[in-house]
Amino acid sequence: MLKKILRIATRKSPLALLQSNFIKKILLYFYPHLIITLIPIVTRGDIILHRSLSKIGGKGLFIKELELALLENRADIAVHSMKDIPNIIPPELCLSSICSRGNALDALVSNNYQSIDELPEQAIIGTSSPRRKAQLIRYRPDLIVHPIRGNINTRLKKLDEGQYTAIILATEGLKRLGLRNRISQIIPAELSLPSCGQGAIGVQYRLNDNNISLLLKKIKDKNTEFTTKAERAFCKKMNAGCQIPIASYAILSKNKLWLRGLVCSPDGKISLSGERIGKPNFGENMGNELAIELLNKGALKILKNIFFDKK
């Protein structure tokens, strides 16, 4: 018998609440008998804004409190941006990609320039992502990259105050918040390969909760599952968190999965990339194989140097 009450753990940021309400709306469409409540939770990642994520524990800081709510049975599911979910999650929990994936690419936001090519020399660009920074300065080594933290509206305010010439954000996050007009350029994947899972919504739930598994079955998106599983397999095999300039992006078309992966040195001077094309249900194998290829080509040395520098 399906549940009658569903508790959704969510961050308190505007984007997180919007995504959780979106999932709530879809679930109510299929299951109008449900009583769904949102449980907003403030995470450490939301509180500690004066330090970079790579120095305080990585993206997992955005979901630890939500996972704890699941493990303590204070919530039934937790809704996340898929890119915020670490490669390894607690063994007591499951992860599913929910609904069709949005635009996975990065976006340049500027009040005066329409593309990265138009930016003047020594322009100050805001991003706290090592992945974005490494790829940006690889393409434009003359640019100056400064860290920026906070939710999307906070970052836009800092841009509007003149603290930055431009900032880089996730395209889909801007679109979901109705801020499409702020996008100056959707950056091609060839210039900035996206983060693993970017543009997708993920839901965690307890491993043996069959009721929840049945509830989510109708709103799972098979294509998104294929692409995000391949991307996450690549990053997991690399054993790399958000402090590493690493990217993976998969596209599914005509029953073919095209997976691209990239690892950079933090200064963008060394870049290793590769790709795989295969059947969708072999995506995780493709991700593992591509990671092994890049590790053997020199990515392992890049990773060791980064970890050594941080000690």
Tell me how crowded residue 111 is: count the other CB atoms within 10 A of its CB.
13
Task: Go through 8-33 and write b for each residue having 16 or more CB atoms within 10 A of its CB, e for each that does not.
Answer: bbbbebebbeebbeebbeebeeebee
Q: Which two tokens stand for residue 28?
A: 């109510």
Q: How far apart are CA 55 and CA 134, in angstroms?
A: 17
Q: How far apart are CA 15 and CA 181, in angstroms?
A: 17
Q: Which two tokens stand for residue 152?
A: 């999307």
Residue 264 β-bridge partners: 271
Q: Is-catalytic flag, 84?
A: yes
Please give the DSSP secondary-structure letter assigned to residue 84: G
DSSP string, 33-78: T-EEEEEEE--HHHH--SS-HHHHT-GGGGTHHHHHHHHTTS-SEE
Please pick, among 84, 117, 142, 160, the residue that the annotation labels catalytic: 84
Which of 129, 113, 104 has its CA nearest to residue 164?
A: 113
The answer to whether 15 and 153 have CB atoms below 8 angstroms apart is: no
- Alpha helix (H) ranges present in the chain? 14-30, 44-47, 53-56, 64-71, 130-139, 152-160, 171-176, 210-217, 222-238, 283-294, 300-310
Query: Tokens 């210039």 appear where?
Result: 191
Residue 206 β-bridge partners: 93
Q: Hey, which residues are catalytic here?
A: 84
